Structure formats: C-alpha cells, structure tokens
C-alpha cells in the first residue's frame, strides 16, 4: 500500500499513553461553526492525545458525537490532512477524530521498502493536530500483532489478485488484515480513506460489507500537487529529473479524461446534426475549407459508429505513457487499466457508467500509482456525476468526471445541417497532441 491507510511503531522517548503531547493543539471551539473550507486549518483549542495501546484508547472518553478513524502509515502530508479535515467536518466539534499511525509489515512484499519507509511521528502528530485530530493512535507491532505474524488473515478474494494484487502478491491480504484489526481496536462509527488508493478503498469497502463491520466507509478524492502529481509519501524519493518523468502518470489520466470529453462533445453534436455532416464535410472540402471540413468529418464519424469511449480513453493515456518511456530517466509502466469499480475487472468498449482508469509505474526505484474516475454515457448527452451505489462507500466530494464541454479546438465550429444522403466515414479524425502526447 502507499501512504494512504495503515501505521508505524512509536518512536523512542515519545509521550506516555496517559499524557497528551504538549503544546500540540487540536479541534474547533464548541461554539464555532464548522469551517467549510477544506484547505483552512481547524481552529485549535486543546491538546491531541498520543496513545500507543488499545487499552489507553478504550479508557479515553469518546465524547457525545460519532468517532471517525483515518488510518495512515505515517509520513503525513497534505493528502492526509485533507482526510482529517474532512473527518472533522463530518463529525463536528462533538465527535472524535482518531488518526492511526502504523507501518504494517504484512503489506510489504520481498524487496519492498519497509525498512526505508519514513517514520516521522513527531511531525505526524503535529500535522494531525493542526488538521483537527483528537487522538493519534501509534501502536507498536507487538501491540497490533501480539503473537507475531498472525496465522489467520483476511483474504482479499479475486479482487485482491488484480492490478496491485498481481504486482504485489499478498499485499491486499495484509492490508485487510490490519484494517480489520485497527477497526476492532479503534471501534469507529466511520472510516475515511483516500481515493488515490482506489483498489485498496474498493477491497476495504467490500470487506466491511461482506463481513458486516458496523462502520461506514467514506472515500475522499485524491489531493494533487500544483503540477498534477498525486500526493504520496513516496514522492520525496524522486530526484528532479525523476519527478519530471513521474508527471506522465497524471498527464496520461488527464489526456484520457480530455479525449473522452471531446468524443462525447462530438457525439452530442452528431445527435443534433444527424447524417448531414458527411455531405457538409465533402462540400467544405471542395471549397478548400479544410479545417471546417475536418470538423464536419469528425462529427459525421461520431454519428455513424458506436461509442468508442473506453478505447479512446485507453489510447490517449497509453500515448502519453509511451512517450514517457523514452524520457531520461524513463518511466517503466507496470499497468494501465480501465476497470469496473465494483470488482476491478477491465470494462468492454460498450460499457456504460462509472469506471476507474488506474496506472502504476516505476521511475528509478520509486513505484507510484494514480487513478481517475471517468463516466461513460454511450452517446447520451448531459452531465453525469460519478457516484457509488450500494455497499457502504460514500463519496465525500464529487468525483472526477469527463465534461462534455471540454472538446478540443478542432471541434468548435458550428454545424449547419446539409441535404443529401448519408455516407459513412471509414477513418476517425486525427487527434491533436500536446506535450507527452496529452490532447491539446
């Protein structure tokens, strides 16, 4: 797993379970309304409790509101702070926000970066407090696994063998085992996780539903740096040249989103134009109006054939990643997958509804993942919001969706209907390409 849920052993010399960490304030005053700005720090009024044992956490009064847990592996950054602030807004000043910090050895495979994973508990406690946490629960490995590695674990099932599970065998079994244990130890009403680890969020949601955990699972949208790179504790490992290459992950996702939006805009225009666009394209070409003719041809192509949304999105993303493989240092692609959020299997080209475009790659020695949520409407016009139905997953904010008004400039000319019999075009219009293959 990346830096999104699960936690490290306490640092030597930290505060005891019965003494709050000094001068690390947290929470809003009870008479203050909750701040609706997710980027603004929560107004602090009392110290955060740093606890290392489940017994100490059980002894701590829960308050009168709901308890929400945010599970992390430490090395907290703005992405984690966003989760904590969302949790604080959800439960209000009467609720309790618990942040777990535990680097889970079960989810690291052979050769992965368990020993290298950063442990920064002092800084983590300060960030958690500033974002609105009441408790930082940082148990040792002996506290979480008192008998050593557990003989009985939670199995992730078929979903856990795909994508991340295929690249990291046994990873999701380790994730679910520690999540189940931490849910028991913290006993929350609600648990918040980041959508950046989309497959992890999906298997946790399924576990909670299938095993009847009395907890609501909430997904919070990915937080990105200004250049588009998804926030991750592993970003700190990237050199400047590696970071430039790593930007291809988000660029590929955005290229897919924009190309899908362009196709949907074309299909919306085609629906209102009918079959007249091809005759108009021929007439414009005869007049030497090449740009307008290409635009009319693109609309005619969209009108004549079935939706190509999934294949178009995959191709746009793959073009960016292919370009990045030729950079220095190169991007080494692990997978690019367009999947059904319910089971993480690849979707067909006639798919309708929400999907996740996920990518994983290595730049140097650093492995990064990212994803974006897309909605395929099979030619129907009108805005669509990506939401999860059923189970226990609730979106904490609107998901990323393809917008029908994001067509490239080659499709912005008006289309007046022309008379004549329809002709089916045989080739798709060219796709303008920008840096790293991203659609302009």
CA distances from 328 to 158, 243, 332 (A): 37, 11, 11
Q: Does 404 show up as a binding residue in the annotation?
A: no
15 annotated active-site: no
Is 215 annotated in a binding site? The answer is: no
Q: Say whether 181 counts as a known binding-site residue.
A: no
Q: Is 364 annotated as a binding residue?
A: no
115 annotated ligand-binding residue? no
Question: d(Cα 59, Cα 124) in Å, to the nearest integer?
Answer: 23
Residue 275 annotated as lining a ligand binding site: no
Helix axes of 240-273 and 276-286: crossing angle, nearest 10 degrees = 110
362 marked as part of a ligand binding site = no
Answer yes or no: is 233 a known binding residue.
yes
Q: Is 200 annotated as a binding residue?
A: yes
Q: Is 197 annotated as a binding residue?
A: yes
Q: Which of 80, 171, 297, 308 is catalytic?
A: 80
The span from the CA of 349 to the CA of 309, in Å, is 7
Is 78 annotated for ligand binding?
Answer: yes
Question: Which residue ranges make up the annotated binding site?
Answer: 73-80, 107, 194-197, 200, 223, 231-234
- Mind telling me the catalytic residues? 80
Question: Which residue ranges make up the annotated binding site for ATP?
Answer: 73-80, 194-197, 223, 231-234
Question: Which residue ranges make up the annotated binding site for (R)-pantoate?
Answer: 107, 200
Question: Which residue ranges make up the annotated binding site for beta-alanine?
Answer: 107
């Amino acid at each position: 797993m990346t830096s999104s849920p699960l936690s490290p052993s306490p640092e030597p010399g930290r505060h005891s379970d019965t003494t709050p960490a000094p001068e690390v304030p947290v929470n809003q005053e009870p008479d203050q309304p909750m701040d609706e700005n997710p980027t603004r720090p929560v107004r602090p009024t009392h110290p955060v409790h740093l606890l290392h044992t489940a017994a100490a956490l059980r002894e701590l009064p829960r308050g009168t509101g709901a308890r929400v847990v945010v599970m992390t592996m430490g090395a907290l950054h703005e992405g984690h702070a966003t989760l904590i602030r969302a949790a604080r807004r959800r439960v209000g000043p009467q609720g309790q926000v618990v942040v777990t910090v535990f680097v889970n050895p079960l989810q690291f495979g052979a050769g992965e970066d368990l020993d290298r994973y950063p442990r920064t508990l002092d800084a983590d406690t300060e960030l958690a407090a500033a974002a609105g946490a009441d408790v930082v629960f940082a148990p040792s490995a002996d506290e979480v696994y008192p008998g050593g590695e557990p003989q009985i674990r939670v199995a992730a099932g078929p979903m856990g063998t795909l994508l991340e599970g295929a690249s990291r065998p046994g990873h999701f079994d380790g994730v679910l085992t520690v999540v189940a244990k931490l849910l028991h130890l913290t006993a929350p009403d609600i648990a918040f996780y980041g959508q950046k680890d989309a497959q992890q969020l999906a298997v946790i949601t399924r576990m909670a539903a299938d095993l009847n955990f009395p907890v609501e699972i909430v997904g919070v949208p990915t937080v990105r740096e200004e250049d588009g790179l998804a926030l991750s504790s592993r970003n700190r490992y990237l050199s400047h040249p590696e970071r430039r290459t790593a930007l291809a992950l988000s660029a590929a996702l955005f290229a897919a989103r924009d190309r899908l939006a362009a196709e949907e805009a074309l299909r919306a225009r085609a629906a209102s134009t009918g079959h007249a666009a091809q005759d108009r394209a021929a007439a414009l070409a005869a007049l030497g109006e090449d740009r307008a003719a290409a635009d009319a041809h693109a609309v005619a192509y969209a009108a004549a054939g079935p939706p190509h949304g999934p294949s178009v999105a995959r191709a746009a993303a793959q073009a960016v990643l292919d370009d990045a493989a030729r950079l220095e240092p190169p991007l080494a692609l692990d997978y690019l997958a367009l999947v059904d959020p319910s089971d993480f299997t690849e979707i067909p080209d006639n798919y309708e509804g929400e999907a996740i475009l996920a990518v994983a790659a290595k730049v140097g020695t650093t492995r990064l993942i990212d994803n974006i949520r897309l909605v395929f409407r099979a030619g129907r016009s009108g805005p669509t919001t990506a939401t999860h139905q059923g189970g226990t997953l609730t979106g904490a904010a609107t998901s990323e969706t393809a917008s029908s008004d994001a067509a490239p400039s080659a499709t912005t000319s008006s289309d007046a209907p022309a008379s004549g019999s329809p002709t089916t075009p045989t080739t798709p219009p060219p796709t303008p390409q920008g840096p790293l293959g991203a659609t302009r």
